[in-house]
Amino acid sequence: MRESRLGDYGSGLAPVTEGWFVVNVRDAERWSSQNRGARCSFESDYGDPAIEFAQLGINVTVLEAGQTILYHAQANPGGFPGRVRGVHATQGEQRSLGPWDFFHAAPWTEHGFVGAGERPCVIVMVGSRSGPGVHHPVSEIAARHGASVAEETSDCRQANAALERFGRERPSNRARLPSA
């Protein structure tokens, strides 16, 4: 396997070709949104061609207080260790997350995240990509935080249609992020 060539799209480094690579999280490409936080996926979802990891999805997401990740369930398990305080809704219940808490989502576990507290909530998201998809149920608790769909769907385009789109840019809170 060859080494991937990394390119700078103006918001950090992302793979331009298939292969292995090393990139520091602070240098990797970022996507950000006022309501949905910032994410670093280590892939080039929107490159030409797109360079995506076939078997494993991994990203680092940073949520400020009130920023959310849409409530959903997926066929594949996932794991989420967090660095700073946040809230998550799981199976219709709201729970608080503390620094370095680990949340394991078994297949089809409904969940979503909301940033809480005075510092950014940093979540490392890891999950398998070898399944049939994602489902977006309606959740009263997630809706209180702006993190629920209005109508149940398994169509990701429909679920995300009303959400603010991510922009290819460094997040404005970069200086507030914890150092590695």
Give the pLDDT confidence of 138-174 residue by residue, as tens digits: 999 889 888 999 999 998 889 888 888 888 877 665 5
**What pLDDT is attached to residue 174?**
57
Q: Hey, where are the domains in the chain?
A: 6-170
% of the chain with per-residue pLDDT over 70: 90
Give the pLDDT confidence of 56-101 residue by residue, as tens digits: 888 999 999 999 999 999 888 888 876 656 777 778 888 888 888 8
60: its two tokens: 């680092």
Residue 135 pLDDT exceeds 60? yes
**What pLDDT is attached to residue 85?**
64
Phi, psi values for residue 141, rounded to 5° = -65, -45
**What pLDDT is attached to residue 3?**
96
Res. 15 pLDDT band, cuts 50 70 90: very high
Give the pLDDT confidence of 19-46 residue by residue, as tens digits: 999 999 989 998 888 889 999 989 887 7
Quickly list DSSP for 67-116.
-EEEEEEESS-EEEEBSS-EEEEETTEEEEE-TT-EEEE-TT--EEEEE-
Fold of 6-170: Jelly Rolls (2.60.120)
Kindly report the pTM of this predicted structure.
0.84
Instruction: Give the mean model confidence (pLDDT) for residues 112-120.
Output: 88
**What pLDDT is attached to residue 9?**
80
Nearest alpha carbon to residue 109 among 93, 96, 120: 93
